[in-house]
Structure 1
Amino acid sequence: MLQTDSELFNLKRKVQQYEEVLQNTQQYREAWKAETRERIQMILQRMLDATGFGARVEHRADIENLEAMVLTLGQSKSGMYQQVSEDVQRHLIKHNGSLVYQQLFNGKIIVLINYPFIENYGQPRPPKTIAIYRPEELKEPYFLRHVEEFLQEITNWEDYDDDEPNKRIGFQLNFGANGGEAPE
């Protein structure tokens, strides 16, 4: 039985909404390529230059329309190593954390904090999502707040101690609370 126009009104509205969302995805992707990507890079680099913060901005473009601009602190020796033999040491690599502005599948931009972690030393903490923006919503004052939050989070990770029992550094320790082996 064929439906009347009034009965199909809601369905037509949903179809229009779906088509709008698809069109928005294309517009957001075009905006990323035309201006957003470079704008993010410029603002972050300007902040680094003004503060002397020892990070760098990287453009990651492994997959088309899933690109990212990353404020990264890079990698370094953790200061911990395994003595393999008398002359050889295997250093544990520390990933120092990053602030990520990445395109989502729908062209919106997710802002994430990747916490520092040390390879082969427990499990890395999952990234923290700060926000998701349409390209036009990503205003310059937000970048300052994002970088401040990033610095606070990585500072807390680096300054971990047992003075605050609920403060966690983001991974399961390999040792128990008394300094011995963790129970199995």
Structure 2
Amino acid sequence: MDAELNNLKRKVDLYHEVLKNTKAYRKVWEEELSQKILDQLNYIIGQVELDAQVEVRSELENLEAIDLSLGTVRSGMFQRVNETIQRDLIKHNGSLVYQQLFNGKILVLIQYPHIEGYGEPRPPKTIAIYRPEELKDPYFIRHVEEFLQEITLWEDYDDEEPYQRIGFQLNFGQQGEE
């Protein structure tokens, strides 16, 4: 019986350690990490002359996010309503997101571009989940690099790879499909 209680005690201790870490990670985000992420992303886009905006999304306490966004534009596609009015389809150009998770760890993900009214957006791609102390300066350049690679592939979609989708269901099928 004592061995079983000792095993249970170790699990309780681990649980308490995880709860303590969550509080510590949230404190680090609030006191320094969110500003570090902002500074790093702004520095990078300034150095490489990338037309992007870095924004803080803070609708929910302890679930904040920092978003490097390539913006929103007219897609160039539109529905003609009548001879003088057209309804533009809006394109979201994609973003790189640093999201604080419920446990204080940081989720880094890519949100792919999508065009409103033209199918479903492709699910985000998770790059990694970090404890605050694991998020080192060189990672930010790698994250932006991977983000740009993924966005460029999305934008440069063609038929070199058969049946490759660009993140949403097309309004028409492949050859032979209904």
Normalised by the shorter chain, which TM-score bucket?
over 0.9
Paired position in structure 2 for 1:103: 100
Paired position in structure 2 for 1:75: 72
The one of 101, 111, 114 equivalent to 1:114 is: 111
| Superposed CA offset, 1:17-46 (max 9, x none) | 000000000000000000000000000000
Counting only pairs closer than 5 Å after superposition, residues 19-34 of structure 1 correspond to structure 2 as 19-34=16-31
- Runs of 4 or more, structure 1, over 4 Å off, are none
Q: Note the residue ranges of structure 1 that are not aligned, 5 or more in a row.
A: none
Cα deviation, residue 7, structure 1:
3.1
The one of 11, 16, 20 equivalent to 2:13 is: 16
Counting only pairs closer than 5 Å after superposition, residues 1-184 of structure 1 correspond to structure 2 as 3-4=1-2, 6-178=3-175, 183=178
Greater gyration radius: 1
Cα deviation, residue 102, structure 1:
0.3
C-alpha distance in structure 2 between counterparts of 1:145 and 1:167, whole Å? 25
Partner of 1:173, secondary structure, is: coil
TM-score by length of 2: 0.96
TM-score by length of 1: 0.93
Superposed CA RMSD: 1.3
C-alpha distance in structure 1 between counterparts of 2:128 and 2:62, whole Å? 19
Letter in structure 1 aligned against 2:18: V
C-alpha distance in structure 2 between counterparts of 1:19 and 1:45, whole Å? 37
Q: Note the residue ranges of structure 2 that are not aligned, 5 or more in a row.
A: none
Identity %: 65
